[in-house]
């Protein structure tokens, strides 16, 4: 079991835009896998959606696809944020 998560931001000061998109793949109590997504304005609570998958590979594939889509729309990861998600120790 590997925990996978990502946090993306999109900032456009000229349009007063500061948004985030957080995703994580995690197991649930029923032996399925959940893709947890949260998005909204930075500094405020966001909307939440959870999608269920039969196995981890399907959930991870969905996360990777969504992350690629968000990056095409201008979302990115700040280098200092990468240290927050270091799961190695």
pTM of the predicted model over 0.85? no
Query: Is 58 part of any domain?
Result: yes
Total structural domains in the chain? 1
Mean pLDDT by 10 residues, the chain (89 residues): 81 92 93 95 93 94 95 82 52
CATH (domain of 51)? 2.20.140.10
39: left (phi over 0), alpha (psi -120 to 50) or beta: beta
Q: What is the span of the domain harbouring residue 59?
A: 5-77
Residue pair 62/56 in contact (Cβ under 8 Å)? The answer is no
Query: Is 88 part of any domain?
Result: no
Query: Is 34 part of any domain?
Result: yes
Q: What is the pLDDT, as a whole number, of residue 4?
A: 85
């Amino acid at each position: 079991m590997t925990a996978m998560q990502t946090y993306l931001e999109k900032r456009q000061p000229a349009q007063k835009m500061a948004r985030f998109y957080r995703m994580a793949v995690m197991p649930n109590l029923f032996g399925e896998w959940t893709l947890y997504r949260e998005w909204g304005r930075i500094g405020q609570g966001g909307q939440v959606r959870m999608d269920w998958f039969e196995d981890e590979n399907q959930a991870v594939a969905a996360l990777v696809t969504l992350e690629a889509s968000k990056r095409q729309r201008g979302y990115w990861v700040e280098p200092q944020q990468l240290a927050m998600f270091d799961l190695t120790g």
